[in-house]
Structure 1
Amino acid sequence: MAAPDTHKIPTTIITGFLGSGKTTLIRHLLEHAQGRRLALIINEFGDVGVDGEILRSCGVASCPEDNIIELANGCICCTVADDFVPAIEALLSRGEKPDHIIIETSGLALPKPLVKAFDWPTIRSRLTVDGVVAVVDGAAVLAGTFADDPDLVAAQRAADPSLDHDNPLEEVFEDQLLCADMVVLNKSDLLSADEKIQARDQIAAILPPAVKIVVTSEGRIDPELLLGLEAAAEDAIETRKSHHDDEPEHDHDEFESFVLDVGPLSDPDQFILRLSSIAEQHDVLRMKGFFEVAGKPMRLLVQGVGRRFRQNFDRPWHKDELRRGRLVVIGEAGLDRAAIAAAVG
């Protein structure tokens, strides 16, 4: 393990597929920072900053609102020069520098290009990648969402080179794991003891032997375990393999997202059931947003992964705030936007 440079600010990259629980984990870190002054850079795939709003509503002293920077102009792994570097420079130009920076990538991001950005001279002298942490939805893995057998695929390709077994979703998932210094197997409360073992085994089959897997639920993990890995990942980037190593640049043409305006809800439970049905019928990967519930002073936060949805009132509406419901829909390219919009109502 590389020795940390005490003149550099340690930075932890939190990656993970859509809905794995990255934001929940980061919120837990903020609430248990143990005296650290933290800064956040949040990247979302889509136009509505749901994750940034959730974290700004924490109101914890460890991470004042000025230390939360949101990048919503596309996946951070594709906009390093245009967005990431200026964000870092703006953050470090402020009077009191953070003790630790946490970067939450979008669920579709490849972490390796972001780690490479830390080798840029303007960043390398001031920051180091303390660690890359991949958050995994254990229930999704067990359900077979990313259950392709790499060895079997390799054997099939060797037997018939004309076959195309590429799966963009699986490649994103595996690239996130292959770049990680630690994997958080989240949502373990949805799994039995045997299922946890099965999920761990599936993930371990992809990982290098030195990468540890930590099992948790609701993102509850001791910050002392997550922060301070001292990986200096930018110094060993070539050892972190990726499906995209031979590509000149990476894009996200395989995915798309759009935002729908939603009026006040009279029955949130029925709305959630409708979204679950839409996700199944149209193969939607992720839905999330804030909504007004008729007669309620609180804002409703809804987050869904496939057919699984969660809802809670996260904070009161501000007096001067427009009470507008907005739903972010994310899926593979080709989503029937008109049909989804009609079904949402």
Structure 2
Amino acid sequence: MSTERPIEVVLVTGFLGTGKTSLIRAFLEGRDTSRVGVIVNEAGDTGFDGIVIAEGTGESSAVRMLGNGCLCCEAADDLAQSVRDLVARHVELTGAPSECIIVEASGLARPGKLLRQFHAITDIPLQVHVVSTVDATLAADPDRHGEIPVQWAAASSLVLTRRDLAGDDGQEAMTRAWAVNPLASFQSEGSAAERAAEAFAATGRANPLPQVEFAGEVSHGSIRAVTLWQSPGANWDDCTEWLDNLAGIGDERVLRVKGLVSPLSADRSWLVQAVGTTFAVPVPISREAGHVVVIGEDLTAEWFAAIEPAGTFTLPDTGAHSHEGHRHD
């Protein structure tokens, strides 16, 4: 099966009770969903979230084609097959493949495990974008529940939820989430529908790195955001080989990568980015740089030093870096 353009896949993550289902419903309501699919992956045996989404868009069953064309199904062990089934069903009913597939992950899920299942889909071009909810009330403490910072760290977009219940409008929650993932865009203003639309539409954007240069690292428990600088003599082949090897040994350790790689004798850089260890196609950027930011668990200087070609990207000598006042594109 083939399509002319990649199908947008929005993987919605977030801890239990942080408003993932409400966010998806807010996005779907009032839209033409004839070529939109929703896959719900819950921790329990009953697809309550799928039922809620289906009810909100006009039907009462969690596993069916809705009256307005939005297919909701409960994904069990085979996410890849669920995606194939959705695309095939949309082709059958509309004559065209899916435009967008929204995957609501379990509140206990780590994005890396789900992202690896997309690797099994080689016959359908997909463009995967991870959105994570940030509970404005911080009802679940990120220091006690390790899934929360992992979900934040893997996201391209962070969305503030349950803002009306927070006395500080979610300022503490935003500060803590940004400390974990300074690379993410953050949707905190407007209605739930507006925040969802902005976050989900961020798929495929070639956002550059934040304008303020990184130096050193920040950390949250075992999760660190580490900046490495491209060595002056490293060419494009060295850089791509290093990034390939980073992905090869990263497994679940690497949650997010973003960087500007500057080939020798070139007047522009290339934006490279990955969710987990899945890299998107590099995008040319008219800005000189030469560094990458890696967010992951248990990242050490020794681990980075073992990546070949050795010395392609190196850790700076400076210390910790504060993200206060950063612009996050």
TM-score (structure 2 length as normaliser): 0.55
Match of 1:213 in 2: 186
Match of 1:18 in 2: 16
- Contact 2:34–2:69, Cα closer than 8 Å, also in 1: no
The higher relative CO (CA closer than 8 Å, separation ≥ 6) is in: 1
Secondary structure of 2:194's aligned partner:
coil
Q: Distance between the aligned counterparts of 1:242 and 1:113, measured in 2?
A: 14
2:110 paired with 1:110: yes
- Work out which of the residue numbers 175, 189, 198 in structure 1 matches 2:172: 198
Q: Distance between the aligned counterparts of 1:245 and 1:117, measured in 2?
A: 24
Structure 1 letter corresponding to 2:134: V
Q: Distance between the aligned counterparts of 1:57 and 1:195, measured in 2?
A: 29
- Residues 172 and 223 (structure 1 numbering): CA distance in 2 closer, same or farther, change over 3 Å? closer
Match of 1:145 in 2: 141
Quote the offset at 1:38 in angstroms: 1.1
Q: Distance between the aligned counterparts of 1:137 and 1:120, measured in 2?
A: 32
2:88 paired with 1:88: no
- Work out which of the residue numbers 228, 245, 253 in structure 1 matches 2:201: 228
Structure 2: runs of 5 or more not aligned? 60-64, 206-255, 258-272, 278-292, 301-329
Secondary structure of 1:53's aligned partner:
helix
- Contact 2:29–2:57, Cα closer than 8 Å, also in 1: no
Match of 2:221 in 1: none
RMSD: 3.2
Q: Distance between the aligned counterparts of 2:185 and 2:175, measured in 1?
A: 12
Structure 2 letter corresponding to 1:203: A
Match of 2:288 in 1: none
- Contact 1:39–1:101, Cα closer than 8 Å, also in 2: yes
Quote the offset at 1:67 in angstroms: 1.3
Secondary structure of 1:11's aligned partner:
strand
Q: Distance between the aligned counterparts of 1:196 and 1:109, measured in 2?
A: 23
- Contact 2:159–2:195, Cα closer than 8 Å, also in 1: no
Quote the offset at 1:195 in angstroms: 5.2
Name the structure where helix makes up a greater proportion of residues: 1
Structure 2 letter corresponding to 1:180: A
2:181 paired with 1:186: no
TM-score (structure 1 length as normaliser): 0.52
Q: Distance between the aligned counterparts of 1:201 and 1:14, measured in 2?
A: 20
- Residues 240 and 41 (structure 1 numbering): CA distance in 2 closer, same or farther, change over 3 Å? farther
Structure 1: runs of 5 or more not aligned? 74-78, 149-166, 247-345
Structure 1 letter corresponding to 2:185: K
- Residues 271-286 of structure 1 correspond to what in structure 2 (within 5 A)? none
Quote the offset at 1:54 in angstroms: 0.7
- Contact 1:181–1:231, Cα closer than 8 Å, also in 2: no
Deviations 1:245-278 (A, max 9, x none): 99xxxxxxxxxxxxxxxxxxxxxxxxxxxxxxxx
Quote the offset at 1:122 in angstroms: 2.4
Quote the offset at 1:43 in angstroms: 0.4
Quote the offset at 1:59 in angstroms: 3.5
Quote the offset at 1:120 in angstroms: 2.9
